[in-house]
């Protein structure tokens, strides 16, 4: 009963996304181009080499393709929230018979589901045909990879929502969101496997949530994270998801109380 | 000309006043642009910790190409960023009507209505990267070289501007051409790396169709010795001017269509 | 007065409305093969407006008002016919024309959204190249007329609708244009602000001889500001005359509203048949239209009261609004 409402929200969001065909083709084109750049770049890197710190060309390309795909799921719910806050729509939303955060999450799931079928799958086919993606190392890794991907996407949404909630406190949110963008790009492993990073950097990233966004799931797939490391990594992801979930809720509740008491 | 310069200064001055209202965000914005560029440089430096050269190009040579791309992009970003918004902010909303009723060139008004301050971060980083790379490469700079560099950076910016204007003009016929501009601009990322790593088709497209090759790689070749592409390097300013002329002509054509359909 | 301010001959404008499918595919398809639906917005208009005239330009939505004004302003190119604004072809010499016109277009702002009103004015001064001394003089006057003083340092985005409209008006007249187009300048405003705005338009236009073209749905605007009314319907001018003439034409029209005692039926006295027209009537309440010239109100009332059980009655002098509505539907006006 209660869930139905959110399923409907997610479904209607899918329809909204379908209406933006021009943007769909534009982003398909742009991601395809990015894949090609990566392809030529890594080809050139491996010109006279068979491996870079133990990673072969085909492994590297597989990593690059999957990381690029996963990077498409970074967020949107937070931007939506920030928009609502900035333009005053949040007051109306708070009167509606649902929890605003749940609504945004439901819409986000809708968007991401349609992204997966409409963008990710066709792009994966393109990548397999023109770039080459290694098959998974084992059945277990496929299974673990799937779980890890879901957690990664959820975590990305929660981080995005956190930035959105922060816009209750700052007037203009684009500064924050660009900062978020930059940090995630570097620290998540979206552009390069974290194992290539200097040791001190890898140590730091152990204690930060960002590796859980891209590196962990992709490395599980490529076998970069060995069998024994898989489940601990997923547990860490799960812990981050839980922590961010609670933190966002608390901050939201606090901000809403502040707004309703002081009239924003 | 003098009048337009004065007008631009006034527009910009007002813009900076507004910006000061959002000081915190401005600072964060500049910092994050730093962060974004830094991500790209970081990526490159990590990769070069594991290899000595990329298709025969050294780290600092590629850095030099990056630097020119950053600077050209910054010129576009700071002064011409509003070109992105032509479709949805001006044509669709009827704001273009208002602009056409004023005794000033309409494109000038659109461009002047926004100065994108975070581009200054880009300018700074581009300059530093270029300086660092040229130091490491042991390049010597004559006055002439510096002048050529300025011309090349300007030309690079002009190409970004021309491509942006050309595809934004499609908004006169489409609901909003922004997705098209966005898609075309994703090609500009190719220009950051030495073009020799790409296939012939891509090189052709980036040289003769959408000349992003002239935003970084070709102009950089002027400063490298014995790397070839000298003719392309020297052609950069011409390509820039030609692109701008074509784009502006197309814009005027779009304006005429607008006056007869008033879409 | 030898020159006309606005001279329009046989003005025609068709819109080609592009029929397009949504999305990029539709847009690309539209680039190559185009299907148009033709909409005739303006079908042959002739106009001659003298300098300093204040013209109310009215008509239903879609009558072609804004299309005409866009052509007068040089934003749209006419399909046929000619437009001259003080001898200038507004489209061919758009920039030259822009110097001599000012405009307020409903919700679209002249001012710059994020910056304070004063800076907006300053920027407009540069755009229109107004000499500093003339500008100072103008502004001082406007500040007084429109009570702008407290608004000057406020960014436009923070102004209320009424405050914004006052500033818009000042912005439109700032460079002392010879012609000003005002599109719904009073829509959604309070009565007292409407009054301020109307008085402002009158006074400035009187002082500088500014020609004003005013489109509005508020007949009070027309009555208080304009000296001429042009009514547009489906792309054609259906009425064009001085406002006094319009009033005089209908000056003698009256309506008598009668309420009868319950259960009685209305009888038209034989002595007045042919002099009155029965409008919408229900059993107990009747409306009679008559011409004050042909039969005086007193006479008519006496005759009616003699033959009917009248509970209440009143004579109504028609408002401007009714007059205009009658222009659209002449059969009712009789």
Query: Tens digit of pLDDT for each residue in C267-315?
Result: 888 888 888 887 766 777 888 888 877 888 888 888 888 888 888 888 8
Name which of A190-204, A240-254, C169-183, C308-322 the model is least confident about.
C308-322
Q: Are C232 and C58 contacting, i.e. CB atoms less than 8 angstroms apart?
A: yes
Print the domain residue range for B48: 2-257
Evaluate if residue A91 carries a pLDDT over 50. Answer: yes
SS3 label, residue C13: strand
According to the model, what pLDDT value does residue C284 have?
75
Contact predicate B13/B117, CB 8 Å: no
Burial (0-12, 13-18, 19+ Cβ within 10 Å), C213: buried
State the residue for tokens 């300086």. Answer: B131
For chain A, the farthest-separated pair of C-alpha atoms sits apart, in whole angstroms, at 66
Chain A interface includes B190 (CB < 8 A): yes
Please give the average per-residue pLDDT across C247-267, as a whole number: 79
Could you give the percent of chain B with pLDDT greater than 70? Answer: 98
Q: Across residues B27-44, what is the average pLDDT?
A: 80
Q: Is the pLDDT of residue B135 over 90?
A: yes
Q: How many CB atoms lie within 10 A of CB B55?
A: 17
Phi–psi pair at A115, nearest 5 degrees: -60, -45
Q: Is A199 on the interface with B (CB under 8 A)?
A: no
d(CA C230, CA C238): 8
Could you tell me the pLDDT band of residue C136, with boundaries at 50, 70 and 90?
very high
Chain B, nearest residue to C117 by Cα: B14
Kindly identify which residue of chain C lies nearest to residue A24, measuring between CA atoms. Answer: C24
Interchain contact, C95 vs B179, CB within 8 Å: no
Sequence-distant (6+) residues with CB within 8 A of C140 are none
| Residue tagged 């239903």 (tokens) | C60
Instruction: Give the number of beta-carbon pairs within 8 Å between A and C.
Output: 10
Q: What is the pLDDT of residue A182?
A: 81
Q: What is the CB neighbour count within 10 angstroms for residue B234?
A: 14
Strands C211-215 and C179-183: parallel
Average pLDDT of the residues in A150-164: 92
A206 touches chain B (CB under 8 A): no
| Predicted complex ipTM | 0.86
- B36/A185 CB distance under 8 A: yes
For residue C152, the distance in angstroms to the closest alpha carbon of chain A comes to 24
- The minimum CA-CA distance between C240 and chain B, rounded to whole Å, is 27
For C25, name the nearest residue in chain A, comparing CA atoms only: A22
Nearest CA in chain C to B261: C15
B2 touches C: beta carbon within 8 Å: no
Radius of gyration for the alpha carbons in chain C, expressed in angstroms and rounded: 25
Q: Which of B97, B106, B178 to probe the C interface (max C CBs under 10 A)?
A: B97
Task: Tell me what pLDDT residue A249 has.
Answer: 92
Q: Evaluate whether C194 touches C220 at the Cβ level (below 8 Å).
A: yes
- Considering only CB atoms, which chain B residues are within 8 Å of C98? 100-103
Q: In C, which residues are within 8 Å of A25 by CB distance?
A: 24
What pLDDT score does A47 carry?
Answer: 87
Both tokens of A235, joined, read 């547990």
Q: Mind listing the pLDDT tens digit for each residue in C70-100?
A: 999 999 999 999 999 999 999 999 999 999 9
Classify C283 as helix, strand or coil: coil
| A101 in Cβ contact with A158 (< 8 Å) | no
pLDDT, mean of residues B3-21: 84
Is the pLDDT at A263 greater than 60? The verdict is: no
Residue pair A164/A77 in contact (Cβ under 8 Å)? The answer is yes
Query: Cβ–Cβ of C22/A26 closer than 8 Å?
Result: no
Whether the CB of B241 is below 8 Å from some CB of chain A: the reply is no
Q: Indicate if the pLDDT at residue C2 is higher than 70.
A: no
More confident residue, A14 or A81: A81
pTM of the shown model: 0.84
pLDDT of residue C19: 64
Percent of chain A with pLDDT over 70: 94
Find the residue in B nearest to A31 (Cα). B186
DSSP class of residue C293 equals T
Contact B47 A196 (CB under 8 A): yes
Q: Is the separation of the CB atoms in A208 and A147 below 8 Å? A: no
Contact C98 B101 (CB under 8 A): yes
Domain count, chain B: 1
Class of residue C137 by CB neighbours under 10 A (exposed 0-12, middle 13-18, buried 19+): exposed
Residue B219 lies in a domain: yes
Nearest chain A residue (CA) to B191: A37
- B23 vs C220: which has the higher pLDDT: C220
Look at A132 and B84; give whichever has higher pLDDT: B84
Closest chain B residue to C20 measured between Cα atoms? B174
DSSP per-residue string spanning B204-262? HIIIIIS-GGGGTHHHHHTTSSSSS-HHHHHHHHHHHHHHHHHHHHHHHHHHHHHHHH-
Task: Answer yes or no: are the C-beta atoms of A205 and A213 closer than 8 Å.
Answer: no
Q: Chain B closest CA to C220's CA: distance in Å?
A: 27
Nearest to A34 among B175, B180, B189 (CB): B189
| C77·B7 Cβ contact <8 A | no
By the 10 Å C-beta count (0-12 exposed, 13-18 middle, 19+ buried), C278 is classed as exposed
* Lowest mean pLDDT segment, chosen from A4-18, A89-103, A157-171, C130-144: A4-18
Summarised one tens digit per residue, pLDDT across range B106-127 is 999 999 988 887 788 889 889 9
SS3 content of chain C, % helix, strand, coil (to 5): 40, 30, 30
Chain B nearest-CA distance from A191, in A, is 7
Give the C-alpha separation, A254 to A249, whole Å. 9
What residues of B are in contact with residue A49 (Cβ under 8 Å)?
Answer: 51
State residue C332's pLDDT score: 41
Q: Is the pLDDT of residue B37 over 70?
A: yes
**Residue-wise DSSP of A14-53:** HHHHHH-HHHHHHHHHHHHHHHHHHHHHHHHHTTT-SEET
Q: Which of these ranges, A82-91, B50-59, B119-128, has the smallest mean pLDDT?
A: A82-91
Quick one: which of A177, A141, A184 has its CA closest to A162? A177
- Mean of the per-residue pLDDT values of chain C: 85
Q: pLDDT confidence of B70, banded at 50, 70, 90?
A: very high
CA distance C330 to B112: 52
For residue B195, the number of C-alpha atoms closer than 13 Å in the C-beta half-sphere is: 27
What residues form DSSP beta bridges with C230?
Answer: C57, C240
How far CA A187 is from CA of A163, A181, A236, B44, B254, in Å, comes to 17, 10, 16, 14, 44
Q: Kindly tell me the burial class for residue A237, based on how many C-beta atoms sit within 10 Å of its own C-beta (0-12, 13-18, 19 or more).
A: buried
Check B100 against C119: CB less than 8 A apart: no
pLDDT of residue A127: 92
Q: Does A130 touch chain B (CB under 8 A)?
A: no
Tell me the residues of C at the B interface, defined by beta carbons under 8 Å apart: 15-16, 18, 22, 24, 27, 30-31, 67, 70, 73-77, 79, 91, 94-96, 98-99, 101, 103, 105, 108-110, 112, 114-115, 119, 122-123, 126-129, 155
Answer yes or no: do C123 and B18 touch at CB < 8 A: no
Supply the pLDDT for residue A1. 46
Q: Is the minimum CB–CB distance between B154 and chain C shorter than 8 Å?
A: no
Q: Residue C26: pLDDT above 80?
A: no
Give pLDDT tens digits for B166-213. Answer: 999 999 988 788 889 999 998 998 888 999 999 999 999 999 999 999
- DSSP-derived 3-state class of residue C322: helix
CB contact under 8 A, A186 and B27: no
H/E stretch holding C290 reads strand C285-291
C228: helix, coil or strand? strand
Which residues face C229 on adjacent strands? C56, C241
Q: Return the residue matching tokens 């300018």.
A: B123
Q: What is the pLDDT of residue B175?
A: 76
* Cα gap B107→B104, rounded to integer Å: 9
| Chain-chain contact of C24 with A19 (C-beta, under 8 angstroms) | no
Helix or strand holding residue C125 (H, E): helix C117-127
φ, ψ (nearest 5 deg) of residue C9? -125, 125
Looking at per-residue pLDDT, the higher value among B157 and C274 belongs to: B157
B193 DSSP 8-state letter: S
Mark yes or no for CB contact B103/C123 under 8 Å.
no
Is the pLDDT at B263 greater than 60? The verdict is no
Average pLDDT along chain B:
90
Question: Would you say residue A122 has pLDDT above 80?
Answer: yes
Q: What are the residue boundaries of the structural domains of chain A, listed by start?
A: 2-258
Over residues B22-26, mean pLDDT: 71
**Contact in structure between A101 and A248 (CB atoms under 8 Å):** yes
Name chain B contacts of C109, Cβ cutoff 8 Å.
98
């Amino acid at each position: 009963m209660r869930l139905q409402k959110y399923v409907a929200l997610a479904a209607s969001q899918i329809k909204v996304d379908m209406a933006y065909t021009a943007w769909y083709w534009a982003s398909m084109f742009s991601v395809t181009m990015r894949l090609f750049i990566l392809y030529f770049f890594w080809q050139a890197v491996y010109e006279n080499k068979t491996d870079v710190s133990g990673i072969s060309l085909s492994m590297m390309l597989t990593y690059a393709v999957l990381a690029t795909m996963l990077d498409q799921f970074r967020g949107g719910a937070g931007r939506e929230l920030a928009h609502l806050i900035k333009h005053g729509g949040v007051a109306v939303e708070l009167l509606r018979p649902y929890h605003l955060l749940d609504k945004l999450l439901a819409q986000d799931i809708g968007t991401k589901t349609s992204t997966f079928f409409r963008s990710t799958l066709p792009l994966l086919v393109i990548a397999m045909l023109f770039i080459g993606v290694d098959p998974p190392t084992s059945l277990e890794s496929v299974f673990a990879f799937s779980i890890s991907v879901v957690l990664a996407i959820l975590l990305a949404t929660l981080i995005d929502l956190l930035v959105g909630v922060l816009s209750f406190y700052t007037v203009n949110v684009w500064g924050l969101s660009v900062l978020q963008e930059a940090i995630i790009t570097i620290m998540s492993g979206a552009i390069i496997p974290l194992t290539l990073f200097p040791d001190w950097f890898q140590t730091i990233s152990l204690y930060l949530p960002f590796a859980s966004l891209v590196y962990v799931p992709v490395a599980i797939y490529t076998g970069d994270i060995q069998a024994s490391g898989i489940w601990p990594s997923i547990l860490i992801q799960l812990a981050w998801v839980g922590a961010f979930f609670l933190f966002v809720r608390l901050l939201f509740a606090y901000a809403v109380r502040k707004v309703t008491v002081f009239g924003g | 000309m003098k009048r337009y310069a004065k007008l631009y200064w006034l527009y910009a001055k007002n813009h900076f006043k507004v910006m000061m209202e959002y000081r915190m965000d401005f600072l964060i914005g500049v910092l994050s642009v730093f962060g974004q560029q830094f991500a790209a440089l970081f990526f490159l430096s990590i990769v070069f910790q594991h290899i000595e050269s990329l298709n025969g190009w050294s780290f600092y040579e590629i850095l030099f190409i990056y630097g020119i791309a950053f600077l050209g992009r910054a010129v576009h970003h700071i002064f011409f960023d509003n070109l992105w918004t032509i479709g949805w902010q001006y044509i669709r909303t009827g704001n273009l009507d208002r602009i056409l009723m004023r005794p000033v060139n309409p494109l000038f008004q659109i461009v002047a209505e926004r100065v994108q301050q975070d581009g200054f971060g880009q300018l700074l980083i581009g300059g530093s990267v270029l300086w660092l790379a040229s130091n490491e490469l042991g390049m010597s700079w004559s006055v002439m070289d510096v002048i050529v560099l300025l011309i090349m950076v300007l030309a690079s910016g002009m190409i970004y501007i021309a491509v942006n204007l050309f595809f934004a003009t499609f908004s006169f016929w489409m609901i909003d051409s922004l997705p098209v501009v966005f898609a075309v601009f994703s090609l500009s990322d190719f220009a950051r790396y030495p073009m020799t790593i790409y296939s012939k088709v891509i090189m052709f497209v980036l040289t003769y169709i959408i000349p992003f090759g002239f935003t970084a790689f070709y102009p950089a070749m002027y400063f490298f010795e014995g790397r070839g592409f000298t003719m392309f390097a020297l052609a950069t300013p011409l390509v820039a001017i030609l692109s701008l002329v074509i784009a502006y002509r197309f814009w005027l054509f779009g304006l005429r269509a607008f006056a007869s359909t008033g879409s | 007065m030898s020159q006309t301010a606005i001279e329009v001959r046989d003005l025609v404008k068709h819109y080609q409305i592009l029929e397009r499918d949504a999305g990029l595919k539709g847009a690309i398809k539209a680039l190559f093969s185009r299907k148009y639906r033709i909409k005739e917005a303006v079908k042959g208009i002739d106009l001659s407006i003298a300098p300093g005239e204040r013209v109310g330009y009215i008509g239903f939505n879609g009558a072609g008002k804004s299309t005409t004004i866009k052509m007068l302003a040089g934003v749209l190119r006419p399909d046929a016919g000619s437009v001259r604004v003080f001898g200038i072809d507004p489209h061919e010499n758009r920039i030259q024309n822009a110097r001599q016109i000012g405009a307020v277009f409903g919700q679209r702002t002249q001012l710059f959204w994020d910056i304070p009103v004063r800076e907006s004015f300053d920027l407009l001064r540069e755009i229109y190249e107004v000499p500093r001394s003339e500008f100072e003089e103008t502004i001082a006057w406007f500040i007084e007329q429109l009570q702008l003083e407290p608004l000057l340092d406020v960014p436009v985005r923070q102004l209320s609708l009424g405050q914004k409209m006052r500033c818009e008006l000042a912005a439109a007249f700032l460079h002392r244009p010879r012609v000003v187009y005002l599109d719904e300048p009073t829509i959604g405003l309070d009565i007292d602000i409407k009054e301020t705005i109307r008085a402002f338009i009158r006074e400035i236009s009187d002082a500088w001889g500014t020609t004003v073209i005013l489109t509005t749905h508020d007949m009070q605007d027309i009555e208080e500001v304009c000296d001429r009314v042009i009514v547009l319907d489906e792309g054609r001018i259906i009425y064009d005359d001085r406002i006094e003439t319009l009033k005089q034409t209908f000056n003698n029209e009256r309506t008598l509203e009668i309420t009868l005692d319950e259960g009685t039926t209305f009888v038209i006295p034989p002595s007045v048949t042919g002099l009155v027209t029965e409008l919408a009537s229900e059993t107990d309440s009747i409306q009679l239209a008559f011409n004050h010239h042909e039969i005086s109100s007193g006479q008519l009332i006496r005759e009616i009261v003699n033959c009917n059980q009248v509970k209440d009655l009143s004579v109504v002098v028609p408002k401007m609004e009714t007059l205009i509505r009658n222009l659209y539907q002449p059969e009712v006006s009789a």
